């Protein structure tokens, strides 16, 4: 599966709101957004900023609950502690059928391929620390 880069930006934490605004304009109303980055790269922080931009309550990390849902429009998953088979066994794949934006932290290649093969709109945001800032690279999967 190939991705096309839509844009890259290096931003401070204070500038993250502008990226969230841009995401809101760029992303369709329903899509999968895979968040890539090392531990503490800022994946959950990005989702928190996006949720705040929507005027919703603040977001929290779903590390222990696996999923958080915000106003039935934003779904946030953290699959750091589970493997692909556990995701299937728990029935979490069915969640992606729901209308809205699905932000996934720690998606593995099997999950990514399954979602792509199922025809979902897939975007990827790679977050890379750069000194006290972060580089955000937004990509879209080729259809």
Q: How many domains does the chain have?
A: 1
Torsion of CA 5, 54, 69, 88, to 10 degrees: -10
CATH code of residue 26: 3.40.50.300
pLDDT score for 49 = 92
Q: Which domain holds residue 63?
A: 3-141
pLDDT score for 11 = 96
Reported as a single tens digit per residue, the pLDDT across 108-127 is 999 999 999 999 999 999 99
Count the neighbouring beta carbons within 10 Å of the beta carbon of residue 123: 22
Model confidence pTM above 0.95: no
Helix/strand/coil (H, E, C) string of 5-74? EEEEEEECHHHHHHHHHHHHHHCCCCEEEEEECCCCCCHHHHHHHHHHHCCCCCCCCCCCCCEEEECCCE
- Per-residue pLDDT band at 64 (split at 50, 70, 90): low
């Amino acid at each position: 599966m190939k991705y096309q880069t839509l844009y890259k930006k290096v931003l401070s934490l204070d500038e993250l709101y502008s990226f969230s605004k841009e995401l809101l304009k760029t992303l369709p109303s329903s899509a999968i957004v895979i968040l890539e980055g090392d531990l503490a790269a800022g994946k959950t922080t990005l989702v928190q900023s996006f949720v705040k931009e929507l005027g919703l309550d603040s977001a929290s990390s779903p590390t222990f609950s696996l999923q958080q849902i915000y106003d039935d429009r934003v779904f946030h998953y953290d699959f750091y502690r589970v493997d692909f088979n556990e995701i299937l066994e728990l029935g979490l794949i069915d969640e992606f059928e729901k209308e809205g934006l699905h932000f996934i932290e720690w998606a593995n290649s099997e999950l990514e391929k399954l979602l792509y093969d199922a025809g979902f709109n897939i975007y990827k945001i790679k977050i890379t620390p750069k000194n006290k800032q972060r580089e955000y690279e937004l990509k879209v999967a080729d259809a």
